[in-house]
Amino acid sequence: MVEPTPNPMALDLLRWIPLLPLAACAINMFFGARLGKKTAGLLACAAVGASFAVAAYVFMLLPATGVFRDTLYTWFESGAFRVNVSFQVDALTAVMLLVVTGIGFLIHIYSLGYMDHDEGMVRFFVYLNLFIFFMLLLVMGDNLLLLFVGWEGVGLCSYLLIGFWYQDHNNAIAGNKAFIVNRIGDFGFVLGILLLVTELGRQGIWTLDFAELQKHVNMLSPATVTAITLLLFVGATGKSAQIPLFVWLPDAMAGPTPVSALIHAATMVTAGIYMTARLHFLFALAPQTLSLIAAIGAATAFFAATIALTQTDIKRVLAYSTVSQLGYMFLAVGVGAFGAAIFHLFTHAFFKACLFLGSGSVIHAMGGEQDMRKMGGLKSHMPATYWTYVIATLAIAGAPFTAGFFSKDLILWQAYSSAHGSPGFWLIAWLTAGMTAFYMFRQLFMVFHGGSRADPRGQAHLHESPAVMTVPLMILAVGSIFSGWLGAPEYLWGSRWDHWLEPVVRGGHEVHHGAVETEITLMALTLVIVAAGIALAYVKYGRPRPAVDQGAGTGGILYRISLNKYYVDEIYDWLLVRPFTLISDWLARVFDPGVIDGIVNGVGAGARDASSIWRALQTGNVQHYVMGFLAGTLALLVYYLRQP
Partner 1 sequence: MIIFYTLAVLLILSSLMVVFQRNVVHCAMALVAALFLIAILFVTLQAPMVGVLQILVYAGAIMVLFLFVIMLLNPTSLEPRRGLSWGFGTVVALLLAVALAALVSHDEAPADPFAATELFGAPESLAKSLFTDFVLPFEIASVLLLIAIVGAVVLAKREH
Partner 2 sequence: MVPLNHYLILSAAIFAIGVVGVVIRRNLIVVLMSIELMLNAVNLTFIAFSRFLGSMEGQVIVFFVMAVAAAEAVVGLAIIISVFRHRQSLDPQEMQLLKW
- Cα gap 476→469, rounded to integer Å: 11
Closest CA to 121 of 40, 237, 202, 20: 40
Binding status of residue 630 toward partner 2 by CB under 8 A: yes
Strands across the sheet with 68-78, in order? 9-10, 68-78, 81-89
Task: Kindly write down the DSSP assignment for every residue of 502-551, as one continuous string.
Answer: HHHHTTS-------HHHHHHHHHHHHHHHHHHHHHHIIIIIS--S--TT-
Q: Taking the CB of residue 525, how many other CB atoms lie within 10 A of it?
A: 14
Supply the minimum distance, in Å, between the C-beta of residue 637 and partner 2: 11
Binding status of residue 609 toward partner 2 by CB under 8 A: no
Using DSSP, state whether 500 is helix, strand or coil: helix
Closer to partner 1 by CB, 554 or 643: give it. Answer: 643
Binding mask 388-407 for partner 1 (x = CB under 8 A): --------------------
Closest CA to 185 of 247, 258, 112, 113: 247
Single-letter code of the amino acid located at 5: T
For residue 631, what are the β-bridge partners? none
| Residue 266 contacts residue 99 (beta carbons within 8 Å) | yes
Binding status of residue 635 toward partner 2 by CB under 8 A: no
Supply the minimum distance, in Å, between the C-beta of residue 618 and partner 2: 5
Binding status of residue 641 toward partner 1 by CB under 8 A: yes
Closer to partner 1 by CB, 532 or 634: give it. Answer: 634
Beta-carbon contacts of 188 under 8 Å, excluding residues fewer than 6 positions away, are: 231, 232, 233, 234, 235, 238
Residue 64 burial by Cβ neighbours in a 10 Å radius (0-12, 13-18, 19+): exposed
Supply the minimum distance, in Å, between the C-beta of residue 631 and partner 1: 7
Supply the minimum distance, in Å, between the C-beta of residue 599 and partner 2: 23
Closer to partner 1 by CB, 493 or 639: give it. Answer: 639
| Residue 313 contacts residue 245 (beta carbons within 8 Å) | no
Applying CB under 8 A, among 166, 573, 619, 631 the residue interacting with partner 2 is: 619
Binding status of residue 621 toward partner 2 by CB under 8 A: yes
Binding mask 26-65 for partner 1 (x = CB under 8 A): ----------------------------------------
Q: Which stretch binds partner 2 (CB under 8 A): 236-244, 300-308, 448-456, 612-620?
A: 612-620
Q: Which stretch binds partner 2 (CB under 8 A): 35-43, 322-330, 586-594, 615-623?
A: 615-623
Supply the minimum distance, in Å, between the C-beta of residue 631 and partner 2: 11
Supply the minimum distance, in Å, between the C-beta of residue 254 and partner 2: 57
Q: Taking the CB of residue 80, how many other CB atoms lie within 10 A of it?
A: 10
Q: Which stretch binds partner 2 (CB under 8 A): 361-369, 485-493, 583-591, 613-621?
A: 613-621
For the segment 605-624, give every residue that binds partner 1 (CB under 8 A): 623-624
Applying CB under 8 A, among 560, 605, 631, 632 the residue interacting with partner 1 is: 631
Binding status of residue 564 toward partner 2 by CB under 8 A: no
Q: Which does 631 bind (CB under 5 to 8 A by kind): partner 1, partner 2, none?
A: partner 1
Q: Which does 619 bind (CB under 5 to 8 A by kind): partner 1, partner 2, none?
A: partner 2
Q: Which stretch binds partner 2 (CB under 8 A): 84-92, 144-152, 591-599, 626-634?
A: 626-634
Supply the minimum distance, in Å, between the C-beta of residue 638 and partner 1: 6
Supply the minimum distance, in Å, between the C-beta of residue 637 and partner 1: 4
Applying CB under 8 A, among 515, 557, 622, 638 the residue interacting with partner 2 is: 622
Closer to partner 1 by CB, 617 or 631: give it. Answer: 631
Binding status of residue 611 toward partner 2 by CB under 8 A: yes
Beta-carbon contacts of 175 under 8 Å, excluding residues fewer than 6 positions away, are: 159, 160, 162, 163, 166, 254, 255
Binding status of residue 627 toward partner 1 by CB under 8 A: yes
| Residue 124 contacts residue 44 (beta carbons within 8 Å) | no
Binding status of residue 605 toward partner 2 by CB under 8 A: no
Number of amino acids touching partner 2 (CB under 8 A) = 11
| Residue 258 contacts residue 357 (beta carbons within 8 Å) | yes
Closest CA to 477 of 344, 329, 353, 345: 353
Closer to partner 1 by CB, 607 or 622: give it. Answer: 622
Supply the minimum distance, in Å, between the C-beta of residue 640 and partner 1: 6
Q: Which does 610 bind (CB under 5 to 8 A by kind): partner 2, partner 1, none?
A: none
- Cα gap 197→482, rounded to integer Å: 42
| Residue 144 contacts residue 18 (beta carbons within 8 Å) | no
Cα-based distances in Å from 168 to 465, 518, 562: 26, 53, 27
Applying CB under 8 A, among 72, 80, 467, 627 the residue interacting with partner 2 is: 627
Supply the minimum distance, in Å, between the C-beta of residue 619 and partner 2: 6
Beta-carbon contacts of 235 under 8 Å, excluding residues fewer than 6 positions away, are: 151, 185, 186, 188, 189, 190, 192, 272, 275
Query: How many helices (H) does the chain have, and how many strands (E)?
Result: 28, 3
Binding status of residue 640 toward partner 1 by CB under 8 A: yes
Q: Which does 620 bind (CB under 5 to 8 A by kind): partner 1, partner 2, none?
A: partner 2
Applying CB under 8 A, among 564, 637, 642, 644 the residue interacting with partner 1 is: 637
Closest CA to 240 of 323, 145, 133: 323
The number of angstroms, rounded, from the C-alpha of 500 to the middle of its chain's C-alpha atoms is: 24
Binding status of residue 638 toward partner 2 by CB under 8 A: no
Binding mask 540-579 for partner 1 (x = CB under 8 A): ----------------------------------------
Supply the minimum distance, in Å, between the C-beta of residue 100 and partner 1: 58
For residue 143, what are the β-bridge partners? 209
For residue 89, what are the β-bridge partners? 68
Residue 572 burial by Cβ neighbours in a 10 Å radius (0-12, 13-18, 19+): middle
Binding status of residue 633 toward partner 1 by CB under 8 A: yes
Beta-carbon contacts of 409 under 8 Å, excluding residues fewer than 6 positions away, are: 398, 489, 522, 523, 526
Closer to partner 1 by CB, 576 or 631: give it. Answer: 631
Q: By the criterion CB under 8 A, which residues form the site for partner 2?
A: 611, 615, 618-623, 626-627, 630
Q: By the criterion CB under 8 A, which residues form the site for partner 1?
A: 623-624, 627, 630-631, 633-634, 637-638, 640-641
